[in-house]
Structure 1
Amino acid sequence: MATIFSRIIAGEIPCYKVAENEEFFAFLDINPLVKGHTLVVPRQEVDYIFDLSDEDLAAMHVFAKKVARAIEKAFPCQKVGEAVIGLEVPHAHIHLIPIQKESDMLFSNPKLKLSDEEFKSIAQAINSSL
């Protein structure tokens, strides 16, 4: 059975897409810690990020770097933090989170509640900064 991320990539479930290429897909987290919180996933359905080939893992990080640079332009921040947890969805993914302080990366923090229009505006801001 396809993961929720595979279904998003296939267009079966709507998302706020930020970027894509033939290997990877980036979209906004629908339960963001901060504005600009983005997920980067491989199109290939692999549960554990370290089960990706060395080449695919490296390419995924290069793609994530491009997205992170766009996030920095769209949402000025100290840095874009990167987290790989992967317990909630069995599909490898990287969280890219614009941060001002380390505590912005705490997944136990309350999640933002954003409107459809806010999500669209955020996705457009990142996409246009690519």
Structure 2
Amino acid sequence: MTIFSKIVAGEIPAYKVAETIDYLAFLDINPLAEGHVLVIPKKEVDYLFDLDDELYTGLQIFAKIIATAIKKAIPCKRVGVAVIGLEVPHAHIHLIPLNRMSDINFERPKLNPTTEELEATAHKIREALKRDV
């Protein structure tokens, strides 16, 4: 069972932004930028391109909804998308607020936000999602 499956099962806490029956969006606790969100299918599948077509397209649509809310909640020029797939063997998409190209460089030092900062960021994104409904 991956760390993401443990988050889905409620065994590990997470700063959840949104959740449906099939998908979950939560903050990366070591983000590249404020508002860095991970979007996952709840079903544990190692590799993004191993998802069946329905789960894959649903994940992309869910990610688009979350990215739109991030853009409203966090000052940025764009929300970047990254799929690396080497860190955790559970398909996931990184959504990262960007103001310059280097904001999506995974080899640069990551932020170390406090619990309060993470909760405040998650709250801002959840509020932006509510405005879209």
| TM-score in terms of structure 1 length | 0.98
1:115 matched to 2:114: yes
Report the alpha carbon displacement of residue 55 of structure 1 after superposing the two structures with TM: 1.5
For structure 2, the 5+ residue unaligned runs are none
1:93 matched to 2:92: yes
| TM-score in terms of structure 2 length | 0.95
Query: What is the aligned partner in structure 2 of residue 62 from structure 1?
Result: 61
Report the alpha carbon displacement of residue 56 of structure 1 after superposing the two structures with TM: 1.1
SS of the aligned residue for 1:121 comes to helix
SS of the aligned residue for 1:129 comes to helix
Percent identity for Structure 1 against Structure 2: 59
Deviations 1:44-82 (A, max 9, x none): 000000000112111100000000000000012111000
Partners of 1:82 and 1:31 lie apart in 2 by 16
Partners of 2:117 and 2:75 lie apart in 1 by 17
Partners of 1:14 and 1:54 lie apart in 2 by 29
Q: Counterparts in 2 of 1:1-130, with a 5 A limit? A: 2-130=1-129
Letter in 2 for 1:12: E
Partners of 1:28 and 1:105 lie apart in 2 by 15
Partners of 2:121 and 2:54 lie apart in 1 by 30
Deviations 1:77-98 (A, max 9, x none): 1110000001010000000000
Partners of 1:76 and 1:114 lie apart in 2 by 17
For structure 1, the 5+ residue unaligned runs are none
| Pairwise CA RMSD | 0.6
Moved over 2 A (4+): none
Letter in 2 for 1:64: A
